[in-house]
Amino acid sequence: MTATTKRVQTPRPAAAKANNKSKHNVFVRDLIREVVGFAPYERRIMELLKNSRDKRARKLGKKRLGTLTRSKRKVDELSNVLNAMRRH
């Protein structure tokens, strides 16, 4: 048996960018959201969330977005929007 040294892998550039959203992009996305509003499927998901149908909302999101992970992220985003609406 031969001993080998474990290689240290440096993080890839794409992984570093994933968590860092630029201020400009965040601003542009917020502005577009304000002007354009929500897509029909997003409005339906928000309506389901208002009625405490979280599982149904995730299933609808999965059908529209393709994967459950994307659906969960979208449902979280829309529930945060609803919470912000309730606060104001």
We report the CATH number of the domain holding residue 61 as 1.10.10.1760
Which residues lie closer than 8 Å to 50 by C-beta, 6 or more apart?
Answer: 82
- pLDDT tens digits, one per residue of 51-85: 999 999 999 999 999 999 999 999 999 999 999 99
In a domain, 66, yes or no: yes
Domain count along the chain: 1
In a domain, 9, yes or no: no
Note down the domain range covering 77: 40-88
In a domain, 78, yes or no: yes
- pLDDT tens digits, one per residue of 23-52: 999 999 999 999 999 999 999 999 999 999
Which residues lie closer than 8 Å to 11 by C-beta, 6 or more apart?
Answer: none
pTM of the model: 0.75
Give the whole-angstrom CA distance, residue 38 versus residue 9. 41
In a domain, 25, yes or no: no
Q: What angle do CA 47, 27, 37 make, to 5 degrees?
A: 30
Consecutive H or E run containing 45: helix 40-50
In a domain, 19, yes or no: no
Please, which pLDDT band fits residue 12 given cuts at 50, 70 and 90? confident
